[in-house]
Homo-oligomer: A and B are copies of this chain.
Amino acid sequence: MIKVTIWNEYEHERKIPAIYEVYPEGIHGALKNGFKTESDLIVRCATLDEPEQGLPEEILADTDVLIWWSHARQEDVTDETVERVIRHIHSGMGFIALHSAHYSKIFRRLMGTPCTLSWRHGDSEKLFCANPAHPIAQGVPACIDIPEEELYGEPFSIPNPDDVVFLGWFAGGAVFRSGCTFTRGYGKIFYFQPGHEEAPVYEHPDIRRILINAVRWAAPTTRLPAPPDNVAL
């Protein structure tokens, strides 16, 4: 069994009626629904306004893969939360950063780069698979049409990924490394660009397939009680 925690800042869906209508159960709720078919996954949700920002030590210790969606409240995530989450990633917890979480404190700390990009509201995307041999691409079509999606464009200031699994094409004239894997310490990381809050992207069956694959891929190979330390031989 793989224990998944979906962590959502949960802001737009509560404050903006048009987004509430897209995701009445919250983005986390829609993501959770996408895992319902998978009997090897145990999924819970957490949101930023819960105690300890939704991620107390005991939840993280009981999480194999953490999924994070953030946008409006990047700066509200405390340094303590950042440290706690990164400690668990370095110890082996998988981490999936969605959409605007490219600019979250946690993702930027893991990358060591600005993580900046170009963007524009109101576009559509074709998501192409550039690495069909990758486990995250299993059962995923060569191209996924996302009729409504925010444009994200290169240069995306990230380190060279381990693998670029998906490349995004945007009608308005941009291209993006939309699905990338990284390893940090014992933790496997997947950044996945689709998921603007104004359209039900996380209800798309192929997007759900990708996230299911990503969770299985990111599940720990080894989980340490703490990050590795320097060892005097």
Residues on A facing B (Cβ under 8 Å): 90, 92, 103, 109-114, 116-120, 126, 128-135, 137-139, 142, 151, 153-157, 159-160, 162-164, 167-170, 172-175, 177, 182-188, 221-222, 227-233
Contacts and interface: CB of A to CB of B under 8 A. Distances in A.
| Copies of this chain assembled into the complex | 4
Q: Which of A90, A156, A183 has the most CB of B within 10 A?
A: A183
A170 B233 CA distance: 13
A69 B142 CA distance: 29
Contact of A233 (B153, B167, B177): B153
Q: Which of A120, A151, A188, A230 has the most CB of B within 10 A?
A: A230
23 contacts: A112-B184, A114-B185, A114-B228, A117-B231, A118-B232, A119-B230, A119-B231, A119-B233, A131-B155, A133-B183, A137-B221, A137-B222, A138-B221, A138-B222, A139-B222, A154-B167, A159-B182, A160-B162, A164-B164, A168-B175, A169-B170, A169-B174, A172-B233
Contact of A129 (B154, B163, B169): B154
Contacts of A162: 160, 162-163
B183 A175 contact: no
Contacts of A231: 116-119
A116 B155 contact: no
